Structure 1
């Protein structure tokens, strides 16, 4: 018993009963009782049972003092900024959790621009989420309908991956790449056009673009426009002159990702580590817009 309880519980004058016998009886009483529930709080239990099990409660509290730093509750706050596009500025949508622990969120949605013809309205959202750890999670939009289009995309679907684990190269959490684009991009059907998407990564990562993948639930369906080709490394879309039969509206559903420029380690608050190479995307954001193709008699570059 002396080896278990140490000097903190050195034998005292217990009268006719030996200290070791007192401890044995206390342990036996604890074992016979129901004890701490599986989902119970050990500290709360110790405080409420310190009269019934005084030595066990004191021992438990001593152990918690030594290990206290490993039991600190962690709550993180992450802010996500995004833009949504609608026909009407009164419309809105809410991100929901797709995978991982997404925590709880609050949302604010502002009007950025109303197109003069009333064709579209762009709104900017600010979402604040509180999560219990820095584990990655995914959010998605999975409602609403697209405008009528040639590649037959009916419903909205977009996914973003949020990476909060600590990066070994910058000693802090990752920041996703940033971009913006108009809700509707117009292109002459008889003119060659290249569109280099705006892209910036605060962490200095390499940024690449790709079409959405239905297997990853990034769109539904993910059919890309037949009139476009994509350069992934430069995030450039190329449009070549086409026939009048292809004129109309297309839905473009892209995903922008950031890749480290060297192999790094991502560390979770639990201590779990994951190695990320230059071939592994760290996070991702969706880029979706309408491409409107129409004939231009003059066909000139703006």
Structure 2
């Protein structure tokens, strides 16, 4: 009898994979009535096969690419797959696996993984193309000290210029979430140390009433109707108290010239982009950078490096990163998370201009058209698109893309 009970117990355990840490995805319209979905799924210790299954009719998966990255404690799937949506007005995808996917042991009583994405695939009347999702991204695991306030801000860039909003799939008592995708951790005696599952739905809304059309079919959407709904799921670990909540003391912190959260960077095909990560000095701690970005991005001595290819042309990629320290007591700390958007253009020229003015300047008082005219006189092509990227009291940096 005991033998039979033991066998049954083993069978039950083998039908579940309690290793889930995170999932995030984005999608873009592609050619020939296809949609390309790019996703990242991260697990602890084990790597169960996981995939996005079609829940909608007339959804045909096509070409795909899967990359597996493993460390001593985690594994991550980077998946790119094309779906033929010729006859599909709305694509519905669900994260699935041969076993029941379950979260790691978390404090807020969340067990089974439920990650579902919705995407309208017909042509928009305002842009003339199918919708693209917001550029969602997050680190699989984020850490906060139990006695320190911390903002966790998700990227809200949308390629179509839509309004991006976030809401909880299942409410959590640990992070307060606002509609602008900013989450806030406030210390409380009611919050125990430990791991918490965070499940967010990110949606994009048109700025005006629009029509979606394909062939003779059409449907109308208002400004309150989401064009897509994508899951953003990760683990928040509430750790031991810090001796100081000042960034750069007990907690690691960024400093200039690290890009600010929400910065928009530009890159060129086949030209290497370098994102500098600068930190405040730390003693008695090991220091590293954790990041989530395009598949081929690497960290080279506190510098994120990536070379876009022709496949990335015209796309915008979210890149998120944190600093991690481990002290002699083996306590792991994280800095704030910063996320930037990298848009790939055919050619990008970076220009640093030093301006002199008889009155104080600010970013909103700089005449970009006049500045472009002056730069053209100095030798830049006349067909450039000039964008103001950053401004300081001593210098203004601009970036321009040359469109053939």
Whose radius of gyration is greater, 1 or 2?
Answer: 1
Consecutive aligned runs of 4 or more in structure 1 exceeding 4 Å deviation = none
Residue of structure 2 in register with 1:140 after alignment: 94
Q: Distance in 1 between matches of 2:35 and 2:235?
A: 30
Aligned equivalent of 1:256: 202
Partner of 1:229: 176
**Which ranges of structure 2 fall in alignment gaps of 5 or more residues?**
1-31, 248-252, 254-404
**What's the counterpart of residue 296 of structure 1?**
241
CA RMSD of aligned residues (A): 2.1
Unaligned runs of 5+ in 1: 1-74, 213-221
Match status 1:151 vs 2:105: no
In structure 2, C-alpha distance between the alignment counterparts of 1:275 and 1:77, rounded to whole Å: 22
Match of 1:37 in 2: none
> Residue deviations 1:230-272, cap 9 Å, x none?
001x200011012286111100000101000111111123x22
Q: Tell me if structure 1 keeps the 8 A contact 2:118–2:230.
A: yes
How far is 1:101 from its partner?
2.6
Of residues 67, 76, 80 in structure 1, which corresponds to 2:37? 80
What TM-score results when the alignment is normalised by the length of structure 2? 0.50
The question of whether the paired residues in 1 share the 8 Å contact of 2:58 and 2:88 is answered with no
Match in the other structure for 1:131: 85
| Counterparts of 2:189 and 2:67, CA distance in 1 | 40
Q: CA deviation at 1:226?
A: 0.9
- Structure 1 residues 280 and 131, CA gap change in structure 2 (3 angstroms): closer
In structure 2, C-alpha distance between the alignment counterparts of 1:192 and 1:97, rounded to whole Å: 40
Q: Deviations over 1:8-32 (max 9, x none)?
A: xxxxxxxxxxxxxxxxxxxxxxxxx
Alignment size in residue pairs? 214
Counterpart Cα distance in 1 of 2:103 and 2:88: 34
Higher relative contact order (CA 8 A, sep 6+): 1
Q: TM-score, normalised by structure 1?
A: 0.66
Equivalent residue for 1:164, pick from 97, 100, 121 = 121
Identify, as 1 or 2, the structure richer in strand: 2
What is the rounded CA distance, in whole Å, between the counterparts of 1:88 and 1:128 in structure 2?
A: 29
Where 1:95 maps in the other structure, the secondary structure is strand
Question: How much has 1:132 moved relative to structure 2?
Answer: 3.3
